[in-house]
Chain A
């Protein structure tokens, strides 16, 4: 600690250069945090997918429907504990930009299937009893200022009603929270029966099934058994673990994770050069001062430590400010009005960011530090 003022004084020597370097590092870590949150959002909860859940969809595409009668047949397959149907409703609330996931499903089975969706007992009972009842995730309810008891009109973009109208009315009977941070609380869930009776076409069909299995280790085997059950039928299936399904869903617009990480890597490489350049100049322009430090008794290792400490403090300030700013921005919520439902910086990315601060400090500082370490006092004092 007693050397801190020396390190700090050196950083203040060229204030503008130090500030610009810190700002460059700040931008890199801000991008790292923001892109991490976007990537997390695009992964659509892959991290929190249930290992004991399979998704069964149409073999060709998820846009093609499956018969509702499959549910009972799936539940007959050995190793399957329960199956529940879901369908993509694809409506909007009030205006097209208010787009979010609305899913008709079977309430009792759904709540059993997803214990991470937390709903208090009274609201659960109300949902089970109310045919037009719907529950909304906390995030989407907060976004639109919905309260339990509100009547929510949703305009269908796919499923028109039997009378030709597009507006479906729902009674909001509950607001659920997520048991984990990554749990999707942007969904709007309602009764499949109400939906199936009211729609103009597609009756008796569902979008996909979520299937809970007794032994996650047998996921591949049970998936194969389900697909075999419906082989050579008009609606063949493709079954896979929920995590793989969500990842494939996220990848429909490309490997977002790879794209994000490529951008971050390019930015970091550039900033590393900037920080390294700053440190190299900082050492080169005070060769004689470093020589004096050695002359008065600082060891080679001591001088190396001082230069590395300078690099570390420079990177720490920029990195911590960047991550902090990213955290603040992300904490303000999804800036896209629903396109990025699970917008948060995962703890894993924060830890990676902190490690990156250390790595960047070391890589940027080590060459100038070694240069300072190798400095021969008598030669340097003669310059």
Chain B
């Protein structure tokens, strides 16, 4: 689905197919999918379970490769990058927020946020400083030395967001970021994402089942049977 905005698109997905193989069976998840996401947009992707939302998110984030088609983020054809270069590209350009936070239970909030910075050439002091700043942005400076098990779900997700933004990525990809949270915590996370989009110009793609979450985005697309549309299918 082409939705060219006034701004140059940051993400271009062109004629993308994604086929999974299970034994001899082929499962077509995405077929001939097209999508453009302008720089600075907050896009919500909705659709029923198994519709391919997370698969599309993984493809845009370089966590998976399309069976066919092209994916461009900025100037980079990421479907053509080697595994090694793709990993380096993810480290530089992608921030990931997961439904179940996926924090390292053995590391404090501060160290969890510092993790992506290990892949940079920053000094230890600089890594600490940036992680502290990211925790400050999500309002968790006072919990920096806490381990994930001592944090609430909402706090864990905010640590996850701090980890996602600490490298100042080009694109923030959120896979059901409020899916495991109560309403209040979910609202806080959504407000945080909106603030990141509004105040820092972050381009955000969020997969969600929650219409209230989707309402926070600037645009919502619906994915069903591998096809994107601006309206939910009946």
Instruction: Report which A residues bind B (CB closer than 8 A).
Output: 2-3, 5-6, 9-10, 12-13, 288-289, 292-302, 376-378, 381-382
Contact = CB atoms under 8 A, between A and B. Distances in A.
Per CB-CB distance, the 6 closest pairs between chain A and chain B, nearest first, are A297-B91, A378-B64, A9-B106, A299-B87, A292-B102, A378-B58
A292 B96 CA distance: 9
A296 B63 contact: no
A102 B167 CA distance: 77
B87 A5 contact: no
Contact of B63 (A5, A10, A302, A381): A381
26 contacts: A2-B124, A3-B118, A5-B111, A6-B115, A6-B118, A9-B107, A13-B105, A13-B106, A289-B102, A289-B104, A292-B96, A292-B98, A296-B90, A297-B119, A299-B83, A300-B83, A300-B84, A377-B58, A377-B63, A378-B55, A378-B58, A378-B63, A378-B64, A381-B63, A381-B102, A382-B54
A289 B61 CA distance: 17
Nearest to A299: B87
Contacts of B90: 295-297
A381 B96 CA distance: 12
Contacts of A301: 84
Q: Which of B55, B92, B119 has the most CB of A within 10 A?
A: B119
Given A292-B102, A295-B90, A296-B90, A6 B107 contact: yes
Interface string B94-134: 10101000101111000100011011000010000000000
A10 B119 contact: no
A2 B114 CA distance: 11
B161 to A, nearest CB: 13
Given A289-B102, A300-B83, 15 more contacts: A2-B118, A6-B115, A292-B96, A294-B87, A295-B96, A296-B90, A296-B91, A296-B119, A297-B88, A297-B94, A298-B87, A299-B87, A378-B63, A381-B58, A382-B54
A5 B91 CA distance: 20
Contacts, number: 70
Nearest to A5: B111
Given A9-B104, A13-B105, A293 B115 contact: yes
Contacts of A5: 111
A12 B106 contact: yes
By DSSP majority rule, is chain B's interface helix, strand, loop, or mixed?
Answer: helix
Nearest to A294: B87
User: What's the interface size class on B, roughly?
Assistant: 20 to 34
A259 B90 CA distance: 55
A120 B92 CA distance: 74
Nearest to A11: B106
A3 B104 CA distance: 14
A354 to B, nearest CB: 29
Contacts of B88: 297, 299
B163 A296 contact: yes
A2 B125 CA distance: 12
Contacts of A302: 87
B53 to A, nearest CB: 12
Contacts of B54: 382
B118 A10 contact: no
Contacts of B124: 2
Contacts of A299: 83-84, 87-88
Interface of B: 54-55, 58, 61, 63-64, 83-84, 87-88, 90-92, 94, 96, 98, 102, 104-107, 111, 115-116, 118-119, 124, 163
Contacts of A288: 102
A377 B64 contact: yes
B63 A295 contact: yes
A381 B63 CA distance: 10
Contacts of A298: 87, 91, 119
Contacts of B118: 2-3, 6
A9 to B, nearest CB: 4
A108 to B, nearest CB: 70
A300 B88 CA distance: 11
A2 B92 CA distance: 18
Contacts of A2: 118, 124
A300 B82 CA distance: 12
A273 B16 CA distance: 46
A297 B116 contact: yes
Nearest to A12: B106
A296 B83 contact: no
A12 to B, nearest CB: 7
A163 B87 CA distance: 93
A299 B94 CA distance: 14
Q: Which of A3, A13, A292, A302 has the most CB of B within 10 A?
A: A292
A293 to B, nearest CB: 7
Q: Which of B63, B64, B115, B124 has the most CB of A within 10 A?
A: B63
Nearest to B64: A378
A288 B54 CA distance: 16
Contacts of A9: 104, 106-107, 111
Contacts of B64: 376-378
B118 to A, nearest CB: 6
Nearest to A2: B118
Nearest to A292: B102
A296 B84 contact: no
Contacts of A295: 61, 63, 90, 96
